[in-house]
């Protein structure tokens, strides 16, 4: 066992529903990797979206993770020197990052309506992904004229045609082409909420995260985040993306799979050990359900 006091991993759930078996699997792996290295594990509450986040789910996720036997060294419940650990309390950090991106010429305001976008943007290959923005607001307005991000969308100008590669510690080499696999992505929303991509990069940088363990649904987002890290001259963490659990129809588990929420599994009398075992059982058609 290597003791690597530099290792800093994180658990980053969003409180928009109850944690399920898929989260248990990913977070268990993240916790084991931090433990094996004698490093730190940070719990970060990704409650950025005021429309979708609920305090009751924030409480439930802490309880459910503790029940499962996962322990962290810094978090909203126990503090730490990189706090606050709830994204809803970190707005000043995100504004600072927005300013740096604006001053560096990396982002631009976008005034397209939802309707404009529906007509102009090409649909992503992956239904979960944001549409590929065709860049129609590039160069339209002077970003420097904005002293705050509110009121318009802000997008990152991707280097058209550049292949963004990384070596995933679990899934091997990956690469995505900017401009065709993904377009100019949102960094700040017109309703004055930073985007997921901006907040994650800002927080992973500020919290000195050395390894990101998360679900494979975020593989492509890694390419976007690498561009943001480069623009901000922040160090690049290692990445370890975990296979997603799927239900009997091949759909990946989501918060709507109530029967597989940790809360319900616990209430049905399962022990934490049995839940972890279930989360790591080889997945064959429908076995989980």
Report the interface residues with Zn ion, using CB under 5 A: 110, 112, 137
Tell me the Ramachandran region of residue 33: left when phi exceeds 0, alpha when psi lies from -120 to 50, beta otherwise.
Answer: alpha
Nearer to Zn ion, 41 or 121 (CB): 121
Minimal distance, residue 155 CB to Zn ion, in Å: 7
Angle between helix 55-68 and helix 272-279 axes, rounded to 10 deg: 90
Minimal distance, residue 128 CB to Zn ion, in Å: 22
| Helical ranges in 174-248 per DSSP H | 196-206, 219-231
Host H or E run for residue 156: strand 153-156
Minimal distance, residue 134 CB to Zn ion, in Å: 9
Nearer to Zn ion, 61 or 110 (CB): 110
Minimal distance, residue 149 CB to Zn ion, in Å: 14
Minimal distance, residue 189 CB to Zn ion, in Å: 13
Nearer to Zn ion, 119 or 167 (CB): 119
Nearer to Zn ion, 52 or 140 (CB): 140
Neighbours of 271 (CB within 10 A): 12
Nearer to Zn ion, 137 or 260 (CB): 137
Nearer to Zn ion, 137 or 207 (CB): 137
Q: ∠165-169-171 over CA atoms, to 5°?
A: 75
Nearer to Zn ion, 62 or 112 (CB): 112
Minimal distance, residue 106 CB to Zn ion, in Å: 16
The Cα 203–Cα 209 span in angstroms is 8
Question: Nearest to residue 90, comparing CAs of 228, 206, 211, 236?
Answer: 206
Minimal distance, residue 82 CB to Zn ion, in Å: 35
Neighbours of 270 (CB within 10 A): 15
The Cα 29–Cα 104 span in angstroms is 37
Tell me the Ramachandran region of residue 109: left when phi exceeds 0, alpha when psi lies from -120 to 50, beta otherwise.
Answer: beta
The Cα 210–Cα 27 span in angstroms is 16
């Amino acid at each position: 066992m290597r003791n690597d006091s530099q290792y800093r991993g994180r658990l980053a759930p969003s409180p928009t529903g109850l944690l399920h078996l898929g989260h248990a699997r990913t977070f268990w792996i993240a916790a084991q990797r931090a433990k094996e290295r004698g490093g730190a594990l940070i719990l970060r509450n990704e409650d950025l979206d005021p429309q979708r986040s609920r305090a009751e789910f924030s409480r439930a996720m802490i309880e459910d993770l503790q029940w499962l036997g996962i322990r962290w060294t810094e978090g909203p419940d126990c503090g730490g020197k990189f706090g606050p650990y709830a994204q809803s309390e970190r707005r000043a950090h995100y504004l600072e990052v927005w300013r740096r991106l604006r001053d560096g010429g990396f982002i631009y305001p976008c005034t397209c309506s939802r309707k404009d976008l529906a007509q102009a943007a090409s649909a992503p290959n992956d239904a979960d992904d944001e549409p590929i923005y065709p860049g129609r607001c590039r160069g339209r307005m002077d970003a420097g004229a904005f002293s705050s991000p509110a009121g318009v969308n802000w997008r990152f100008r991707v280097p058209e045609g550049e292949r963004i590669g990384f070596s995933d510690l679990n899934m091997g080499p990956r690469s995505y082409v900017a401009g065709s696999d993904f377009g100019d992505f949102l960094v700040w929303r017109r309703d004055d909420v930073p985007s997921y991509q901006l907040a994650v990069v800002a927080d992973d940088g500020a919290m000195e995260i050395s390894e990101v363990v998360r679900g494979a649904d975020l593989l492509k987002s890694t390419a976007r985040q690498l561009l943001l890290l480069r623009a901000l001259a922040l160090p690049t963490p290692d990445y370890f993306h975990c296979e997603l659990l799927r239900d009997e129809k091949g759909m990946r588990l989501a918060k709507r799979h109530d029967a597989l929420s940790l809360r319900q599994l616990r209430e049905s009398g399962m022990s934490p050990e049995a839940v972890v075992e279930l989360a790591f059982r080889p997945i064959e058609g429908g076995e989980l359900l």
